[in-house]
Amino acid sequence: MDATNNALYLRPNIVAEPLIDGWYAWTHLIPPATAARNVTERHLKIMESYLECPEAHDAAVQDAAMAGGPYMHFDRNREGDVRALRDRTLHDRKDLIELSRAIEKLDELLRAKAKGFSLDALYAEVPPCLQGMVEIVYDLNNQPSFRLIEPLLYRSPLYSDAFQSVMLSVISADDRPFVMSTPRLEKGNAIQLQIPFASERYDQLFGMKRQPASFEAMRDMLELNDEDASLFRTFLTTELPPPYVNYNGPGARWRYFGHACILLETGGTSVLLDPVLSYTYESDISRYTYDDLPDVIDYVLITHNHQDHILFETLLQLRHRIGTIIVPRNGGGALQDPSLRLLLKQCGFRNIIELSEMEEIDFGHGSITAVPFLGEHADLNVLTKAAYFVRLANHKLLFLADSCNISPKLYEHIHRELGDADAIFLGMECDGAPLSWLYGPLLTQKLERAKDQSRRLAGSNYDRAIGIVEQFNCKEVYVYAMGQEPWLNHVMGIKYTKKSNPIIQSTRLIDTCRARGITAERLFGEKEILLT
């Protein structure tokens, strides 16, 4: 055996896209019920629309104003491939299509027959594939709804990991197409690993970013055919990755990796918030990447279940390095609010902790407290959301992600309990997409346009943000999570100009803070701060 073949690393510019049925695996595509609704109401509809008029899709993706819209983004005509995927979906995912129709029928049943009287008799009318998988209930105002028994759905044939794969290819620039509307069709120079996400084989593969292995061992483990094996060999290198030096200085250090992804280190403990990472390649925009993480990440914190905050692509590649993953506690069974704990467990993650509002974890050199997060979910009852108040040595940092200060009194209560924050990190995507952009496939009745437009995934504007800054007597204010880093384009679909409202509002916040002697900045690309 060639000696160099024994000590190979996975190149840092190999993109690994988790896919389900060829669609990018964002977190609503993993739980069976949200997956079912996205298959029928997003994927099949987009595919039909493309097949009817591919030119319209071509034109729309050239238009920046249409970024993030339901248009397929291909570099050439792929009608044949899309038709094949559509036909395969109709054939292979009959069970999910049936589940989606069953959810519609259950909603119809509740609208027609749940009128305030006992619901017992309705159980016999629950569509067959949902029987035994739901509880139907009223709220105290006699509004009917249902909750899904998610653990049973995952254990049923409705959850099949046979459709899961990871596509490996080389990435050299930030221009990835918007993945929620564009499937990843088979292409040259890519390897599709038909291996379920839960498999430990991925941990060995992604472990090769820092731990060398032999080509032959990896080829055999991944069961690559000759063609894929020779391509895979080009994805490996003998070049050692740059060594990571943990921060062992006084106090603490934080590093901004883009969007809401921040690494905290203190006293030998590392905490990574909302992991969304760039691969390593030449670019004009300097950034931290996968190469700039410790070998062990003690805690990963997830703020909420939006694809720019829980990016499955990044998490899967970090799984083997994560000590404990902290997710917000879930309400249990609402279609729009799948459990992140169950989802991650199903995908092979270990040591998942759900934190409830105001619950704390102490890690010796600091602590993490989950803080209530209101808004930014189009007024849907979604409980899987938390901001985090993190104490590091003597420093107190408040990570608010996309929390929208719609109820200022909340922060009075939080401040009374936790005291001042030295620094806050606040998302100010204050226009936000309408409800239908993310949650539309889950609705079984059309929402009037005016209502849809009024209910948005919007964070705090200037007035709301300055209220939080004042409440916590912050010395430093960082606007983040703005979707500006181009390596997030594939999940964000946001393109700002200087005239965009979130830019105007956040600039005003920064100017006001600076005028008051508060350090303030809109983070972009990378940033490092030492808290000594």
Interface segment toward Fe ion; rule CB under 5 A; list 215-223, 232-240, 302-310, 417-425? 302-310
Nearest distance, CB of residue 381 and Fe ion, angstroms: 16
Q: Which CB sits closer to Fe ion, 11 or 309?
A: 309
Contact 9, 208 (CB under 8 A): yes
Applying CB under 5 A, which part among 224-232, 287-295, 404-412, 478-486 lies near Fe ion?
Answer: 478-486
> 418 Cβ partners below 8 Å, 6+ apart?
369, 371, 389, 396
Helix (H) or strand (E) holding 342: helix 340-346
- Of 308 and 476, nearer to Fe ion (C-beta) is 308
Minimum CB separation from Fe ion for residue 303, in Å? Answer: 8
Position 396 contacts Fe ion (CB under 5 A): no
Q: Is 306 in the site for Fe ion (CB under 5 A)?
A: yes
As a whole number of angstroms, the distance between CA 51 and CA 78 comes to: 9
Distance between CA atoms of residues 352 and 347, nearest Å: 12
Selected range binding Fe ion among 163-171, 328-336, 395-403, 410-418, rule: CB under 5 A: 395-403
Calculate ∠ Cα 247-251-252, nearest 5°. 50
Please identify, using beta-carbon distances, which residue of 414 and 481 lies nearer to Fe ion: 481
| Residues that contact Fe ion, how many (by CB under 5 A) | 4
Residue with tokens 């993945």: 179
CB of 297 to Fe ion, least distance (A): 21
**By the rule CB under 5 A, 308 interacts with Fe ion:** yes
Q: Count of CB atoms within 10 A of residue 15's CB?
A: 18
CB of residue 371 to Fe ion, shortest distance in Å: 15
Q: Of 405, 278, 377, 264, whose CA–CA distance to 326 is shortest?
A: 264
Question: Which residue lies nearer to Fe ion by CB, 163 or 373?
Answer: 373
In angstroms, give the least distance from the CB of 302 to Fe ion. Answer: 11
> Least distance from C-beta 268 to Fe ion, angstroms?
30
| Sole binder of Fe ion in the list 402, 452, 476, 485 (CB under 5 A) | 402
- Tokens linked to 461: 């504007």
The yes or no reply on residue 274 touching Fe ion (CB under 5 A) is no
Amino acid sitting at position 501: N
**239 CB neighbour count, 10 Å cutoff:** 10
Dihedral in degrees, nearest 10, Cα atoms 8, 10, 13, 19: 150
Least distance between Fe ion and beta carbon 439 (Å): 12
Q: How far apart are CA 395 and CA 397, in angstroms?
A: 7
> Does residue 485 interact with Fe ion by CB under 5 A?
no
Cβ proximity to Fe ion: between 269 and 436 the closer is: 436
91 backbone dihedrals φ, ψ, rounded to 5°: -85, -50
Per CB under 5 A, the segment of 211-219, 244-252, 411-419, 477-485 that binds Fe ion is: 477-485
Give the number of C-alpha atoms closer than 13 A to the C-alpha of residue 457, restricted to the C-beta side: 20
Least Å from the CB of residue 525 to Fe ion = 17
Residues that bind Fe ion (CB under 5 A): 306, 308, 402, 481
